Amino acid sequence: MTTDEAVGQRIDAALDVPSGSPARMDTPRPGDPRLARLSLNQKTVDGWSLREAVDGCVAAGLPAIGTWREPVAEVGVETAARWIRDAGLRVSSVCRGGFFTGAGDLSRSERHDDNRRALDEAATLGAPCLVLVPGGLPAGDRDLRAARDRAAAAVEALVPHALEVGVRLAIEPMHPIFAADRGVVSTLAQALDIAEPLPAEAVGVVVDTFHVWWEPGVEDQIARAGGRIASYQVCEWITPLPPDALLSRGMMGDGHIDFAHLTSLVTAAGYTGDVEVEIFNADVWAAPGRDVVETLARRYVELVEPHL
Amino acid sequence: MTTDEAVGQRIDAALDVPSGSPARMDTPRPGDPRLARLSLNQKTVDGWSLREAVDGCVAAGLPAIGTWREPVAEVGVETAARWIRDAGLRVSSVCRGGFFTGAGDLSRSERHDDNRRALDEAATLGAPCLVLVPGGLPAGDRDLRAARDRAAAAVEALVPHALEVGVRLAIEPMHPIFAADRGVVSTLAQALDIAEPLPAEAVGVVVDTFHVWWEPGVEDQIARAGGRIASYQVCEWITPLPPDALLSRGMMGDGHIDFAHLTSLVTAAGYTGDVEVEIFNADVWAAPGRDVVETLARRYVELVEPHL
C-alpha cells in the first residue's frame, strides 16, 4: 500500500456512530435488496423533523419509516401521509398509543378516545399497526396486578375500533426496568396472555430485542406468538447502562444481544414485515442523522438481515 | 402546644434517610419484639467496618447480620465468627458466591474451589445459606442460554460440599437489568427450575423484593418456592432510577414495591427465617450508618413486619 492509498483510506473510511469504530462493511446503497425490509423509527434520529427523516430514508435507500404522533401532528396527519406516500415510503408502525394504567394526566375515557384517534391517524398513514406502551403505576399506587388488569381491559376496549379502521393494536412488552414508570407488561409471555383471547387481526405484539432479549424461554414465546408478531424492532442492550434509563438503548452490535438468534426465531415464527430500528440514546441523538442512518443500515445488513 | 414544646419536637424528631422526610413512627428500641427477625446486610452500611456493623446491630437491637466475604476476610473468618457470636448475633446469610458463567478472572475450577471456600466460611460463621450471584455474560459472548446452563451446572456441582458443611446454596434471581453483566438468572421461576431437581436441604432461592417485584405470576412462584426460600431480602425499586444501575436500590417505602403483598406471600409459603435489608445506594451510603439503621428499622416495622 502506498502512502497515498493509506491516507486516502483513512479519509474515506466511514466511522460507526456512536462508537467511533471503523465501519466493518461498505454502506449499502439505495436499491440494495438487503434494505428491502429496513425501517427507520424516527425517534432514532430525534434531531430530525419528519421532513428530514423522510428525506433521510430516501437518501439512504430505506423503504419504510416508523412515525411518532407528535412530529406527525406538527405538520398534520394528511400532510405527513402525503409526504411519505410521495417519497415512496411505507409506514411500518405508528408510535404510540397506550398509557392505559392511569399514570398520566388523562382520564380513562379521555385516554380511550385518544387511542381511537391514534388508530385513525395510523389508518390515514397506511400503517399496519399502532404500538401500545402500556403505562406505569400511578403515583403512590403499588398494585401492579391491578394496573396490568387495567391495561388488558383497555386493549380489549379498543378492538372494535381497530377492526373498523384496519389497524392492528401492537402490545409492546417492556423491559422490567420500566415496570414502575412506563410499561407494566413486562414479558412477551404476558403480552401474549393479553392478546390471545382477542382477534388476531386486531391485536398483536411487538418483539423489541431490547425489551425481550433476557426473557427466559423467549424462544418458546416467539414461536407461540407466530402470526401475532405485529412489529419487529431491533436495538441493543449495552453496558454499562447509560445514566438515564430511558436513553439506555444502543446501536446493534455494540452490546450483548444475539441478533442472529432472535431474528431467526422471529423469521421462523412467520414474520414477513418491516424491521424497525428504534434507538433512544443521547450519544446516538448527538451524532449527525446521516451518520446514524448509515451506521444502522450497515449493522442491520451485518447482524439482522442475513437471518430474515 | 407551647413554643418550647414545638422547638423540642423539631429537635427530637428523627428524619428518615436518604429522603430527609420526618420519621413516621418512633424508632423501635432494643428488645422490641418486632425486631426479632430483622437482619442488617452489611452492604447497606458500606462505610462501616465489620466491627462497626456488629456494634451497630447491637446498639439498634437487631439480632442478625448478613455478612460479606471481603470485610470478613479482612479480620479473618474465625475472628469475625467470634465477634458476631460474642455480640449475641446470628448470621442470616453470607454474600456471596456464584459468578459461575465465566465472566470474571477465575477459571471454572478456580471458581468452584472459591465457592467451596465460601461454603466453608459460611459454616464457620454459622450462616444457614450462601447467596449465589449467578454472574453475567463473558466479554463478547452473546449466548445467554449457554451461560444459564453453565450456572445451573455449577450449582449442581456444589451440592455435595453444601450438604457436607450444612450450608444451603441460595440462588439469587436478579432483575433483568443485570442479565448481561451480573446475573443471568432473571426470574424466580427460572431459579426454581434450577433448584427443584436438587435436594431441598442443599439448594434454595433468595426472594429479594428489588429483583422479583415486577415478575408476572410472582404470587404463584413464591407459593411454588415454599420451603425453598432460603433468604428473604427487602429493598425498594425507586424512580427515577439512579444513574448507576448497580446502586439503584432504595429504602423501603420510598418507591413502588408493595411490601405487604410480597411479605404476605413469603409468609404464606412458610418462611420463618430472618429478613435482611440490603440496599446498594450512593445516598444511603453517604448517610451516617446509625441513621441508616434507624430508618430501615422503622420502615421495616411499618411496612414488612406486620405481614410476617
Mutation site, A192, A215, A263, interface B, largest B CB count within 10 A: A215
Q: What is the pLDDT of residues A246-274, one digit of tens each?
A: 999 999 999 999 999 999 999 999 999 99
Closest chain B residue to A191, measured at CA: B216
Closest chain A residue to B137, measured at CA: A256
Q: Are residues A216 and B186, on separate chains, in Cβ contact within 8 Å?
A: yes
Q: What percent of chain B has pLDDT over 90?
A: 93
How far apart (Å, rounded) are the C-alpha atoms in residues B79 and B203?
A: 28
pLDDT, mean of residues A89-102: 95
CATH number, domain of A128, equals 3.20.20.150
Residues on chain B touching A254 (C-beta within 8 angstroms): none
**Strand, helix or coil at B40?**
strand
Identify which of B241, B255, B257 has the shortest CB distance to residue A245: B241
∠ CA A289-A295-A296, rounded to 5°: 90
User: What value does the mean pLDDT of chain A take?
Assistant: 95
Residues on chain B touching A213 (C-beta within 8 angstroms): 144, 179
Say if B227 falls within a structural domain.
yes
The set of cell numbers assigned to A253 is 452490535
Give the number of other Cβ atoms within 10 Å of residue A61's Cβ: 18
Tell me if B75 sits within 8 A of B101, measured CB to CB.
no
Q: How far is B177 from chain A (nearest CA, A)?
A: 6
User: What value does the mean pLDDT of chain B take?
Assistant: 95
Identify which of B177, B180, B243 has the shortest CB distance to residue A243: B243
Q: Flag whether pLDDT at A276 surpasses 70.
A: yes
Say if B251 falls within a structural domain.
yes
Say if A262 falls within a structural domain.
yes
Q: What is the pLDDT of residues A233-248, one digit of tens each?
A: 999 999 999 999 999 9
Helix (H) or strand (E) holding A68: strand A64-68
Q: How far is A244 from chain B (nearest CA, A)?
A: 6
Mutation site, A258, A259, A264, interface B, largest B CB count within 10 A: A258
Q: How far is B3 from chain A (nearest CA, A)?
A: 34
Q: Where are the beta strands (DSSP E) in A175-290?
A: 203-208, 229-234, 236-237, 249-250, 275-277
Strands B64-68 and B275-277: unpaired
The set of cell numbers assigned to B232 is 428473604
Tell me if A205 sits within 8 A of A183, measured CB to CB.
no
Say if A74 falls within a structural domain.
yes
Q: What are the b/e assignments for B90-110, b being 16+ CB within 10 Å?
A: bbbbbbbbbbbbbbeeeeeee
Q: What is the pLDDT of residues B75-100, one digit of tens each?
A: 999 999 999 999 999 999 999 999 99
pLDDT, mean of residues B157-180: 98
Q: Is cis: bond before B240, omega within 30 of 0?
A: yes
Residues on chain A touching B148 (C-beta within 8 angstroms): 216
Tell me if B156 sits within 8 A of B109, measured CB to CB.
no
Tell me if B204 sits within 8 A of B169, measured CB to CB.
yes
Count structural domains, chain A: 1
Say if B11 falls within a structural domain.
no
Say if A286 falls within a structural domain.
yes
User: What is the band of B12 on the pLDDT scale with cuts at 50, 70, 90?
Assistant: low
Largest Cα–Cα distance in chain B?
70
Q: Is cis: bond before A18, omega within 30 of 0?
A: yes
Tell me if A132 sits within 8 A of A167, measured CB to CB.
no
Mutation site, A137, A141, A142, A145, interface B, largest B CB count within 10 A: A142
Among the listed residues A118, A209, A185, A190, the one whose alpha carbon sits nearest the alpha carbon of residue A158:
A118
Q: What is the pLDDT of residues B257-283, one digit of tens each?
A: 999 999 999 999 999 999 999 999 999
- DSSP class of residue B28? P
Burial class of residue A308 (count of CB atoms within 10 Å of its CB; 0-12, 13-18, 19+): middle
Please count the residue pairs, one from chain A and one from chain B, whose beta carbons lie less than 8 angstroms apart: 75
The pTM assigned to this predicted structure is 0.95
Q: Where are the beta strands (DSSP E) in chain B?
A: 38-41, 64-68, 90-98, 129-133, 168-171, 203-208, 229-234, 236-237, 249-250, 275-277
Closest chain B residue to A149, measured at CA: B216
Among the listed residues B202, B204, B306, B216, the one whose alpha carbon sits nearest the alpha carbon of residue B252:
B306
Q: Are residues B214 and A176, on separate chains, in Cβ contact within 8 Å?
A: yes
Q: Are residues A245 and B240, on separate chains, in Cβ contact within 8 Å?
A: yes
The interface predicted TM-score (ipTM) is 0.94
Give the number of other Cβ atoms within 10 Å of residue B197's Cβ: 9
Q: Are residues B180 and A261, on separate chains, in Cβ contact within 8 Å?
A: no
User: What is the band of B3 on the pLDDT scale with cuts at 50, 70, 90?
Assistant: very low
Q: Are residues A214 and B186, on separate chains, in Cβ contact within 8 Å?
A: yes
- The B-side interface with A (CB below 8 A) comprises 137, 142-144, 148, 175-177, 179-181, 186-187, 189-190, 213-216, 237, 239-241, 243-245, 255-258, 261
Closest chain B residue to A243, measured at CA: B243
Q: Flag whether pLDDT at A1 surpasses 50.
A: no
The set of cell numbers assigned to B46 is 458500606
Domain that holds residue B240: 35-307
Q: Are residues A137 and B256, on separate chains, in Cβ contact within 8 Å?
A: yes
Whole-angstrom CA distances from A129 to A45, A158, A245, B20, B108 are 21, 13, 26, 46, 48
Q: How far is B147 from chain A (nearest CA, A)?
A: 12
Mutation site, B171, B174, B177, interface A, largest A CB count within 10 A: B177
pLDDT at B105: 77
Say if A29 falls within a structural domain.
no
Q: Are residues A176 and B176, on separate chains, in Cβ contact within 8 Å?
A: yes
**Strand, helix or coil at B39?**
strand
Residues on chain A touching B241 (C-beta within 8 angstroms): 177, 245
Among the listed residues A186, A157, A159, the one whose alpha carbon sits nearest the alpha carbon of residue A173:
A186
Say if B269 falls within a structural domain.
yes
Residues on chain B touching A252 (C-beta within 8 angstroms): none
Residue B104: partners with Cβ closer than 8 Å, 6 or more residues away: B111, B135
pLDDT at A13: 81
Residue B20: partners with Cβ closer than 8 Å, 6 or more residues away: none
